[in-house]
Amino acid sequence: MVTRNSPVSVLPGIGKVKAAAYAKLGILTLGDLLLHYPRAYENRGEIRELANAREDGKSALILTVGSEPKVVRLRSHKSFLKFKAFDDSGVCEVVYFNQDYLKSVFPIGAVFRFWGKVERKGKHYSLSSPVAEPWAPGVHLPPLCAVYRLTDGITLKQITKDVETALQLLREQELCDPLPPELIAKHGFLPLAVAEEHLHRPLDKNDLEEARRRLVYQEFFDFSLGMALMRRKTAAPTAPVCRVASLDPLLSLLPYRLTGAQERVIAEVRADLASPTPMSRMIVGDVGSGKTICAAAAIWIAVKSGRQAALMAPTEILARQHYADLSSLFSRLGVRVALLLGATPAAEKRKIRAALAAPDPADRVDLVIGTHALLSDGVEFAASGLVVADEQHRFGARQRAALAEKGQNTHLLVMSATPIPRSLALILYGDLSLSKIDELPPGRQRVDTFVVDDSYRDRLNEFIRRQLADGGQVYVVCPAIEEEETAPDEVDFTGLFDPEPARPPLKAAVTYAKELAAVFPETRVGFLHGKLKSAQKEAMMSAFVAGEIGILVSTTVIEVGVNVPNASLMIVENAERFGLSQLHQLRGRVGRGLRKSYCVLVTGATADRLGERSRERLEVMRTTYDGFAIAEQDLNQRGPGDFLASSASDTVRQSGGLSLRLGNLAEDALLLAAAAQDAGDLLTIDPTLQSYPLLQSRISTVTGNLIS
């Protein structure tokens, strides 16, 4: 019996080679295939005449074959088939390459719906290898045709056929719906099987909208249930109560006064630590807002309560920076601090591990700062009380839990320099309470921001020269490493939106680094990208921090949180390719010292050739400096992609976050709220889902896929 768990090899024509190609897309079973949702739809229902065909994309045309197809053979053993086709507005030459067998498909007088890009040469039109579907009055052709993400060995024709076959095979058996019938009735949802069929094969836009509504709700509902069940499974019954009479010994050492936002956040942390319920809190604050001192206050409270603390950073350079800052502060208070990295010599590692596990408090390390090395076997705490994870987006829920489990019943505090809208934080980090530092310290400089195009290149080079002459350093961020890299092809979702103009080529970091080295021979130009080994990236970034490199050309891998006080200029090439939140993060790399700092956003096209959405996005960056306001704008304009993706061109979802296939947290806020409420209500009635075995099985699988 064929089921959703049957391998894709049960489909006709799918052997080992095709199955291996599907595996590259994460498709192993028929269920996986149906969950490989279309990334867009071709709007073939909008019929145009030849004379009115789109110049910026493909068009649907009803044409009559007007001449007998002829095959022309070339010396290279290749061939092409060509014939004339026409409508009331003109005549078009249709060409197919190396497809001689199509000669009998297009008899004179036959009518087809063609889908392709019309090329114009004066009054002459041509179509190259268009999709052709026989057309006649009364014959229904689907107006919306799905477009899927593909890989080598899997064509659009192949996956379209296989999805259709899978739908048919599964349609022949009764498919139980995992969603409780009372929720289906409450919201008027389509059954799951019908929704999946309508998403892959919509008859019209209403079909598509209803299907999407059900499946988006299902995503949010599955995630909400999974997160709630995971919290119940991992929650410790009690945690050490940590209290101190006063923070004055710590705060008196600071050369500044806390902001109101910092005082509020520290009060929230103190209340959590004073409770036997384990703290699970995230501090979200813009670059330079003072998150670290809030974490230091939590560490001080834990240590003065007789407990140990650990601070985990995603990279060695950031861990070293935290150690330099915190050890100098805590050493004056008698707090013993150690640094544990992968690069720490073996003998020193053994010494630190022994001090962490020492039964006598007089022999113990109070605070250990490190990287993933803190998760390694052999790292045990004698009296763990607090775990702090910096740059939350770099650690998944399981990594946070693994560190917390090093000591029993530990409080957890995580920090993020990415301002996150509350609606997004609720679903991404539902296991964490949220504290916002929405106030910058007095005197924090604003980084003046400018938007220019490539015609300003000479003036921009002169500006770089002035910054270097004044002792400043320069970041240059490019969206691609090498010239041949291109962004994935995009198709407008159901044709509902006006398309952006054709995109200019990406500025490649490799090429631009060489160009800058030639323009500024007196300055060392560094080059940083994600394909370098970790040790190479650390060495390059360390050299920039030390001032040995004047210009650092990089992709978006430049480390969040690393402090380079002399960096006074951030240049972002092809800035229109980035989301607002990512641009704001890049801008935050400069202006961290006393130097007046600037951010220049360079577009790959002149203002009149930029799309309206790109112009709006860059204008927000030019005029807005509040990270939370920018984050809300980004969520409204682009959905959650920037918060979830690891780079401008990589849609791989972050570890520990929500992997959305369809949902948009800006557009689908009401569905999100409904799903979260329904999930909570259901667990109140049936905490283990014993009455819903199909849902119980689904959630255990989905949770494993969503949370890592």
Which residue from 407, 398, 396 is spatially nearest to 368, judged by alpha carbons?
407
Between CA 434 and CA 232 the distance in angstroms is: 19
Query: Which of 115, 141, 167 corresponds to the end of one domain?
Result: 141
Q: What angle do CA 399, 400, 401 make, to 5 degrees?
A: 90
Residue 2 pLDDT greater than 70, yes or no? yes
Same domain assignment for residues 357 and 397: yes
Same domain assignment for residues 296 and 433: yes
At residue 589, the pLDDT reads 86
Beta strands in 260-382 (DSSP E): 280-285, 308-312, 337-340, 367-370
Higher pLDDT, 70 or 203: 70
Residue 160 confidence class, pLDDT cut points 50, 70, 90: very high
Residue 195 pLDDT greater than 70, yes or no? yes
Same domain assignment for residues 417 and 489: no
Question: Residue 569's domain spans which residues?
Answer: 448-624
Residue type, 475: Y
Between CA 121 and CA 93 the distance in angstroms is: 11
Summarize the confidence of residues 407-427 as an average pLDDT: 72
Same domain assignment for residues 516 and 602: yes
At 165 the three-state DSSP class reads helix
CB 129 within 8 A of CB 116: yes
Same domain assignment for residues 73 and 99: yes
| Inter-helix orientation angle 612-623/627-638, to 10° | 170
Same domain assignment for residues 377 and 270: yes
At residue 433, the pLDDT reads 81
Return the DSSP state at 204.
Answer: S
Cα dihedral sign for 676, 705, 409, 250? Answer: negative
pTM more than 0.75 = no
Write out the two tokens for 243.
């209290």
Query: Which of 369, 404, 437 corresponds to the end of one domain?
Result: 437
Residue 669 confidence class, pLDDT cut points 50, 70, 90: confident
Residue 63 confidence class, pLDDT cut points 50, 70, 90: very high
Same domain assignment for residues 51 and 129: yes
Residue 471, classified by CB atoms within 10 Å of its CB into exposed (0-12), middle (13-18) or buried (19+), is exposed
At residue 495, the pLDDT reads 34
Between CA 548 and CA 541 the distance in angstroms is: 10
In a domain, 685, yes or no: no
Higher pLDDT, 503 or 518: 518
Q: What are phi and psi of 113, to 5 degrees?
A: -95, 115
How many other CB atoms are there within 10 angstroms of residue 398's CB atom?
A: 13
Between CA 189 and CA 678 the distance in angstroms is: 14
In a domain, 672, yes or no: no
Between CA 297 and CA 242 the distance in angstroms is: 12
Which residue from 152, 150, 172 is spatially nearest to 160, judged by alpha carbons?
150
Same domain assignment for residues 506 and 606: yes
Same domain assignment for residues 421 and 473: no
Between CA 227 and CA 393 the distance in angstroms is: 17
Write out the two tokens for 469.
């002459």
Q: CB-based contacts of 538: which residues, under 8 Å, 6+ apart?
A: 315, 316, 317
Same domain assignment for residues 561 and 452: yes
In a domain, 682, yes or no: no
Go through 164-177 and write b for each residue having 16 or more CB atoms within 10 A of its CB, e for each that does not. Answer: ebbbebbeeeeeeb
Give the helix ranges, DSSP H, for 417-508.
Answer: 422-428, 457-469
> What is the domain count for the chain?
4
Which residues, listed in sequence order, are joined to residue 124 by a DSSP beta bridge?
Answer: 121
Residue 407 confidence class, pLDDT cut points 50, 70, 90: low
Between CA 201 and CA 115 the distance in angstroms is: 17
First to last CA, the chain: 33
Residue 469 confidence class, pLDDT cut points 50, 70, 90: very high
At residue 499, the pLDDT reads 38
At 65 the three-state DSSP class reads strand
At residue 676, the pLDDT reads 85
In a domain, 443, yes or no: no
User: Using one digit for the tens of pLDDT, what is the confidence trace for 514-548?
Assistant: 999 999 999 999 988 777 787 888 888 889 999 99
In a domain, 380, yes or no: yes
Residue 405 pLDDT greater than 70, yes or no? no
User: Using one digit for the tens of pLDDT, what is the confidence trace for 374-401?
Assistant: 877 788 889 989 999 886 544 555 555 5
Q: CB-based contacts of 269: which residues, under 8 Å, 6+ apart?
A: 279, 281, 283, 294, 297, 298, 301, 413, 435
Go through 241-260 and write b for each residue having 16 or more CB atoms within 10 A of its CB, e for each that does not. Answer: ebebeebeebbeeeeeebbe
Same domain assignment for residues 548 and 580: yes
CATH of the domain at 480: 3.40.50.300
Write out the two tokens for 561.
């949180």
pLDDT above 70 as % of the chain: 84
User: What DSSP string runs through 48-80?
Assistant: --GGG--SSS-EEEEEEE-S--EEEE-TTS-EE
CATH of the domain at 110: 2.40.50.140
Higher pLDDT, 505 or 13: 13
Which residue from 155, 146, 162 is spatially nearest to 13, judged by alpha carbons?
162
Per-chain mean pLDDT for the chain: 84
